[in-house]
Amino acid sequence: MRAAIARVSPVMTTGAAARFPKAEFPVPEEPTHIYLDYNASTPVAPAVSAAMRPLLDTGFGNPSSGHWAGGPARDAVGAARRRIASLLGCDADEIVLTSGGSEANNQVVKSVVRADASAPHIVTTAVEHPAVLEPCRFVETLGARVTIVPVDGHGLVDPDDVRRAIAPDTALVSVMHANNEVGTIQPVAEIARIAREHGVLCHTDAAQSAGKIPVRVRELGVDLLSLAGHKLYAPKGVGALFVRRGVALTPLVHGGGHEGGRRAGTESALLAAGLGAACELAETDPCEDRLRELRDRLWSGLRARLGDRAVLNGHPDRRLPNTLNVSFPGRYGDQILARMPEIAASTGSACHTGERALSPVLAAMGVPPAVGHGAVRLSVGRGTTEAEVDAAVERIAGCV
């Protein structure tokens, strides 16, 4: 990070059956292709596809139109907004539909830079997704100040560090709900309380947590929350931003008065229906326990085969139920994956795949390069089976 950025010193379903019907997701007895990259992207769930399909034929009208052609599209968008709000525990008019998590994050960060504000201050963390850190770097060029709060060896933020970082001109605190690489779940509720005590807006990027663990905005106490559809079995190209009622948000996209004047552009009824169905699936059919069973089976298998040659990255308990970031010291994660083309996984954030540089997240955690370079992120999902996990254990262990 550039020197201009200030820094503060340091002072989380039983049964083996997959949730997706096997008739729709057939799995061979001995899997030949194993997908363990659900944190990068998820397949579109059958229920989501079914919800979207009618909109291809009947939802072509503009949702803002008052005539018969716009009715089905308008109804679909409204229903989707209510389903998203139900998952997050908020009101439908607090949901802004976006093109994804990156747009939502950009809107939040860039919205604090206004003509009536003198050098606003933003507090964020060293392990945020680039969709937060890069907008922060951009607003620095417009006069904003950014303070990066560190994390401990588990990737966990100390709320007291956030408290110390807040200044009289702080306009925003942005701390992700759960990390995309190591899965560590942050104490967002406590951080939001601190921000509220200081009269500062609090935002959390919940792209990785929604659909895996409960994400309720009232319980978290946040003012703003970002959601990405393709992380919870909806299509790519759609997301949502929760904006607490009463919070003024400058549009990132200017134009017509769509989304309550907060995001211009004709809504896609098709994509909105997909995101709404995905949120309904996450709420009515939670899979947290089953994901944790699969993740722990994967970790136990690797430890049984490799012992201390497999090192866990991230918090041992306060971690997403589907995420296993494991290092193989003395090896390179990209080389391990290259030798196992049948296994889809990542060496860290998918945005950095192919780079040999140490993951910024692991670097922020203080993981030594000799350990961090051997990191592989394995993330299970609704379609993962025990047979796939066991096959992956044998293949990874044998390769290492």
> Is 351 designated active site?
yes
| Catalytic residue of the set 90, 202, 351, 399 | 351
3-state secondary structure the chain: CCCCCEECCCCCCCCCCCCCCCCCCCCCCCCCCEECECCCCCCCCHHHHHHHCCHHHHCCCCCCCCCCCHHHHHHHHHHHHHHHHHHHCCCHHHEEEECCHHHHHHHHHHHCCCCCCCCCEEEEECCCCHHHHHHHHHHHCCCCEEEEECCCCCCCCCHHHHHHHCCCCEEEEECCCECCCCCEECCHHHHHHHHHHCCCEEEEECCCCECCECCCHHHHCCCEEEEEHHHCCCCCCCEEEEECCCCCCCCCCCCCCHHHHCCCCCCCHHHHHHHHHHHHHHHHCCCHHHHHHHHHHHHHHHHHHHHHHCEEECCCCCECCCEEEEECCCCCHHHHHHCCCCEECECCCHHHCCCCCCCHHHHHCCCCHHHHCCEEEEECCCCCCHHHHHHHHHHHHHHC
Give me the active site residues, please. 351
